[in-house]
Structure 1
Amino acid sequence: MTDHLTAARGDAAPRISPSIGWTTELRAMFTLAWPLVIAQLAQNALTTTDVIMLGWLGPRYLAASTLGTTFLMPFLLAGFGIVGAVAPLVAQARGARDIKAVRRIVRQGAWAAIALGAVMVPVIWQIRPLFLALGQDPDATAMAEQFIHIAVWMLFPALLLTLLRSLLSAFDATRIILVISVVGFLFNLGINYLLIFGSFGFPRLELRGAAVATLSTNVLMFALMLAYVLRHRRLKRFHILHHFWRPDWWRFRQIFHIGVPIGLTVLAEVSLFTAAALLMGRLGTDEVAAHAIALQCASMAFMVPLGIGAAATVRVGMAYGRSDPHGVRRAGWTAIGLGVGFMALSCLVFLTLASWIVALFLNAGDPANVNALALAASFLVVAGVFQLVDGAQVVAAHALRGLSDTTIPMLFAIAGYWLIGLPIAYVLGFVLQWRGVGIWLGLAAGLAFVAIVLVIRFAMRERLGLMRTR
């Protein structure tokens, strides 16, 4: 049976020997990471398309969809973190040549995805009474409810899609993830145009059309990825749907044990930036617009170390699964080096081309935009330094996930973001009156703390007992 595991690796190279060198590791890491990076960019572009097209309808529609998406996203991201625990677990099973474990992990990952959707949907469905209780505009809330009551069903295909992405990533089959992500982006672009505006004889559904497009795109991407896994001549040997109804409670609990801290870590970081946006709102409209521009630029650059981090989880997890401490060391430091190296380049770009970059977002010829452009350029300079620590923390966190180490990194992240980053942002921004630049420096300080402690934790993995035998 173990021979099937080697045969079922899809796009993977033969099983890596512990004696591989740094150059081989670098090549393997890059080969695994680059499709994931582009897939992340395509996923980001998919969301951007929704925003642009709803913006064409008018600010009321954009505000309503923003309200709905703001409410939906924390649930979705938490689910992604929990189901994403499948990636390190499958990578470890692959390294240990345990084919039965792969099937059981994926099966229980599907159970977890379905269970999470079943719990989250009834809560998200109550968006209207919750938002009205929070004092939101009744008309915007009613429109957001129309959007959510359709879009909420995307939770099931989106979480199951994350499950299959984790499986394919763990077996180096990342190019198909890229292809399906691009197909999803193009499909979403077309169906959005048809249903939002009622083009070519289709019904004009406006906000509901955007929700239908989002749901349909996730269903399509999940169906394509499932078909690939079930029909690929090597991957189908895993029989991931075999005895699907059979429980494996130990694996089920293991997914939540590793995944819940990942989800909470993601939520802590996302909520930090939400809090920063609220602080910017206290400073003025120009500060909010400038913050949005700088954050969009930083987010696009962040997709690269995020993809490298996903590859690090797999490479570290494989080495950990085959009890190869040298492989863990090479995989982790190679990924951290790649992530920080790219972010050093983006830092240089932000520092030298800040004024030119922000002019892509606002009309520099309009006198009303002069202050916002100047603020955005200053924020982007701070974001340049911010890039280095952001790249280090995300890759180090993913490398530790390859060792199933998620709880302590979660505590470090919460402490760094909320006990260090946000208080410093407030003190610098409002007490010392550094305003928006002070808030961005606070964000950088929080990320720097998390980056330092997580890199140190990875460096001390053996002393801390993280390399114990599986």
Structure 2
Amino acid sequence: MRESHQVHPLRAELAATLRLAGPLALANMLQMAVFAIDVIFVARLGQEALAASSLAVAIVAVLMMGLNGVTGAVAPLIAAEVGRRRNSVREVRRSTRMALWLAVGLGLGAVAISFFGEWIMLATGQEPRIAAISGHFIQVLSLALVPMAIANVLRTFVSALGRPFFATLITALAIGVNALGNYALVFGNLGMPALGLTGSALASTITACVTVLAYALAIGTDRQLRRFHVFGRWWRPEWSRLRQMLALGLPISATLIAEGGLFSGAAFLMGRVGEAELAAHTVALQIAAFAFQVPFGIGQAATIRVGYHYGAGDRAAIGRAGWAAIAIGLAFVGVSALAMLLFPRLFISAYIDVDAPVNAGLVALAMQYLFVAAVFQLTDGVQAIVAGALRGIQDTRVPAIIAIVGYWAAGFATSVVLGLFTPLEGTGVWIGLAVGLTVAAILLLARWHWRERFRLVPETAPSPHAAPIIHAAIA
């Protein structure tokens, strides 16, 4: 669908980004609701179970981020291919096929790593009983890694080709499946055995498998998506495409692991501070992560929108797409930060009973951490969106270095010093998170601002045949 010539280009870009980012952000928030269901059910098992599961999820989350980083390179590749030429069926199919190969191959490697979960926890100084419970939990939960990686590839495929609403609908389905699975397997309802933590892990695995089947069904029944035949000749290798995806994806993976590792590392620091601090950290982080899903979705949309224009060789449109996404993100994070500052107990009450005397200490700690989270909402949102825009122009190596320096040299180091060697303890750990995100946001924003000076954008004029394809892809 051609955009009206009477509409200002920036306004048109804002509208296009919102059309794409809306369903993606909603799908991300629904995905967090899937994870929140696990926390809500596990929290009813007691503080020990919640602490053990949070450590396991911290490891699985880092592994999943690594997988999503490598396979997520399919997003800028598909976007650039669609923007570059009118008929891109073969190129899109090859990219998606190689992403699925990586999802399975690397996913199996991640499963193998998960079996060392208890050893990792003991090596980081966690309490032995918590480490033992968590180690078993992570082994069962690791079964979900491969289907989750496959689902991420298929989600990227449908979104980049103008069907992001499928991601929203399928994630909504996953909420119901996960809730039913937890209800039946954690406490032994519906004639199923009461498996406790193991039941929650099995529910997550079942949910991931159902999600993959739902995406396959959506792709097979949608007229536009079906013509790409992404499951056809799945055994046929495309080695050059695989190498290209690894070249782009490994730095993205390093970036996501650096960020995920920062928060997972914070969980391990909290485990050393105390069990109550770790439980409060888990609740506060769930709330902050839920709010983050909107700027994260905007960043995903920025990758696709910038990628379209990058493939078409339109330098001006590349800039508009990136800045439009940043503007939309800033508007949202301002609102979310204000909500966290004004209504912290309301958000915390979604996870625990804030009026129960036994939870008084946990609630007080969670409110302290949530205050810091509200403060760093701005920089967290900016760094996610700018990183997405840079991926759209296939710039991933330097951003990976920026992430490692910002998150770890600045952020985690601050968390260690303030959390373990000052009276701030848990609050000090969260201040470190804020420092890391802020440093990364400043450096990434500078790189995006000077993208032409760094020669990150094409110097050729845009193709006159590409624009209709770019806009049709999100119509």
> Is 1:226 the equivalent of 2:224?
no
Shift in CA distance, 217/15, structure 1 to aligned 2, threshold 3 Å: farther
Which amino acid in 2 is paired with 1:37? Answer: A
Measured after TM superposition, the shift of residue 327 of structure 1 is 1.3
Q: Is the 8 A contact 2:40 2:351 kept in 1?
A: no
Q: Is the 8 A contact 2:83 2:308 kept in 1?
A: yes
Segments of 5+ residues of structure 2 without an aligned counterpart are: 461-475
Match of 2:399 among 399, 404, 409: 409
SS in 2 for 1:461: coil
Match of 2:20 among 17, 32, 40: 32
Match of 2:320 among 326, 330, 345: 330
The structure showing larger relative contact order (alpha-carbon pairs under 8 Å, at least 6 residues apart) is: 2
Match of 2:30 among 22, 39, 42: 42
Match of 1:90 among 70, 78, 91: 78
Q: Is the 8 A contact 2:54 2:282 kept in 1?
A: no
Measured after TM superposition, the shift of residue 319 of structure 1 is 0.7
Match of 2:91 among 87, 91, 101: 101
Q: Is the 8 A contact 2:310 2:393 kept in 1?
A: yes
Which amino acid in 1 is paired with 2:311? Answer: G
SS in 2 for 1:201: coil
Match of 1:3 in 2: none
Q: Is the 8 A contact 1:323 1:469 kept in 2?
A: yes
Match of 2:301 in 1: 311
RMSD: 3.0
Shift in CA distance, 122/270, structure 1 to aligned 2, threshold 3 Å: closer
CA distance in 1, matches of 2:423, 2:126: 30
Measured after TM superposition, the shift of residue 437 of structure 1 is 4.1
Match of 1:216 among 184, 196, 206: 206
CA distance in 2, matches of 1:54, 1:437: 24
Which amino acid in 2 is paired with 1:56? Answer: R
Measured after TM superposition, the shift of residue 43 of structure 1 is 1.1
> Is 1:468 the equivalent of 2:458?
yes
1:335-414 to structure 2, matched below 5 A, reads: 335-354=325-344, 357-358=347-348, 365=355, 373-414=363-404
SS in 2 for 1:41: helix
Match of 1:51 among 18, 32, 39: 39
Which amino acid in 2 is paired with 1:32? Answer: L
Shift in CA distance, 382/198, structure 1 to aligned 2, threshold 3 Å: closer
Measured after TM superposition, the shift of residue 423 of structure 1 is 2.9
Q: Is the 8 A contact 1:65 1:144 kept in 2?
A: yes
Shift in CA distance, 430/158, structure 1 to aligned 2, threshold 3 Å: closer
Match of 2:57 among 58, 65, 69: 69
SS in 1 for 2:166: helix
Match of 1:154 in 2: 144
Segments of 5+ residues of structure 1 without an aligned counterpart are: 1-12
Q: Is the 8 A contact 2:143 2:205 kept in 1?
A: yes
Deviation digits for residues 48-82 of structure 1 (CA, Å, limit 9, x no counterpart): 21222233344555455445434333222211111
CA distance in 2, matches of 1:284, 1:219: 36
Match of 2:239 in 1: 249
Measured after TM superposition, the shift of residue 357 of structure 1 is 4.8
Measured after TM superposition, the shift of residue 435 of structure 1 is 4.5
SS in 1 for 2:292: helix
Q: Is the 8 A contact 2:125 2:272 kept in 1?
A: no
SS in 2 for 1:209: helix
Report sequence identity in percent: 39
Q: Is the 8 A contact 1:146 1:207 kept in 2?
A: no
Match of 1:453 in 2: 443
1:251-270 to structure 2, matched below 5 A, reads: 251-270=241-260
Q: Which moved more, 1:310-319 or 1:289-298?
A: 289-298
Which amino acid in 2 is paired with 1:380? Answer: L
Measured after TM superposition, the shift of residue 265 of structure 1 is 1.1
CA distance in 1, matches of 2:350, 2:316: 46
Which amino acid in 1 is paired with 2:152? Answer: T
Which amino acid in 1 is paired with 2:66? Answer: A
Deviation digits for residues 356-383 of structure 1 (CA, Å, limit 9, x no counterpart): 6556666565666556545544443332
Shift in CA distance, 189/378, structure 1 to aligned 2, threshold 3 Å: closer
SS in 2 for 1:48: helix
Deviation digits for residues 306-353 of structure 1 (CA, Å, limit 9, x no counterpart): 111111111000110111111111110010111111111122223344
Shift in CA distance, 16/460, structure 1 to aligned 2, threshold 3 Å: farther
CA distance in 1, matches of 2:311, 2:431: 39
SS in 1 for 2:186: helix
Q: How many correspondences in the alignment?
A: 458
Q: Is the 8 A contact 2:24 2:167 kept in 1?
A: yes
CA distance in 2, matches of 1:16, 1:102: 28
Which amino acid in 1 is paired with 2:203? Answer: A
Match of 2:165 in 1: 175
In the superposition, the TM-score normalised over structure 2's length comes to 0.87
In the superposition, the TM-score normalised over structure 1's length comes to 0.87
SS in 1 for 2:394: coil
Q: Which moved more, 1:376-385 or 1:440-449?
A: 376-385
CA distance in 2, matches of 1:191, 1:431: 42
Q: Is the 8 A contact 2:126 2:271 kept in 1?
A: no
Match of 2:9 in 1: 21
Match of 1:6 in 2: none
CA distance in 2, matches of 1:391, 1:295: 15
Q: Is the 8 A contact 2:345 2:354 kept in 1?
A: no
Q: Is the 8 A contact 2:58 2:264 kept in 1?
A: no
Match of 1:165 in 2: 155
Measured after TM superposition, the shift of residue 446 of structure 1 is 1.8
Q: Is the 8 A contact 2:380 2:438 kept in 1?
A: yes
Deviation digits for residues 166-210 of structure 1 (CA, Å, limit 9, x no counterpart): 111111211111000000110111122123333232344444432
CA distance in 2, matches of 1:243, 1:353: 53
Q: Which moved more, 1:122-131 or 1:248-257?
A: 122-131
SS in 2 for 1:331: helix
Shift in CA distance, 369/271, structure 1 to aligned 2, threshold 3 Å: same
